[in-house]
């Protein structure tokens, strides 16, 4: 048995099996993942707006905030006590 054959059997074969399994495991998710954000590059994705799940908001107690359902169109709603308008906050740039 030559050294080449030994190397192929004990190093080459495991490496090949390792590579095939890693590709099968990681490949599909790598293909699906959106491109990573890099500062300075344009952001071409759709705008997204997230609110907590209604159940979480409802479990905080208090009154007058039932389930958040359906869609809210872009009109500014009549100011209510809870959501009367912006008061403070902070800004940042990077």
Partner 1 sequence: VQAVSGELVVTPQLAYGSTAKSGAHGFTARQLSRIDEALTLSSRESGLTFSVYVGELAEPSRERAYELFGQLPATAVAPVLVAVSPGQRVLQIVTGAESAARIPNKSCALAALSMRASFTAGDLAGGIVTGLRMLSDAAGRI
Interface ranges with partner 1 (CB under 8 A): 32-54, 56-57, 59-62, 64-66, 68-69, 71-78, 80, 82-94
How many Cβ atoms from other residues are within 10 Å of residue 6's Cβ?
11
In the complex, minimum distance from the CB of residue 19 to partner 1, in angstroms, rounded to a whole number: 24
Cα three-residue angle 71-74-75, rounded to 5 degrees: 115
Least distance in angstroms from the C-beta of 41 to partner 1: 8
Nearer to partner 1, 1 or 56 (CB): 56
Q: Least Å distance between CB 7 and partner 1?
A: 39
State how far the Cα of 85 lies from the Cα of 79, in Å rounded to an integer: 7
Please give the biggest Cα pair distance in the chain.
86
């Amino acid at each position: 048995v030559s050294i080449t054959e030994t190397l192929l059997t004990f190093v080459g074969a495991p490496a090949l099996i390792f590579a095939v399994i890693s590709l099968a495991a990681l490949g599909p998710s790598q293909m699906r993942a959106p491109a990573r954000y890099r500062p300075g590059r344009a952001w071409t994705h759709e705008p997204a707006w997230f609110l907590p799940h209604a159940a979480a908001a409802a479990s905080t107690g208090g009154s007058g905030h039932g389930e958040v359902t359906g869609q809210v169109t872009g009109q500014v709603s009549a100011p209510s006590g809870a959501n009367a308008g912006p008061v403070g906050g902070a800004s940042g740039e990077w």
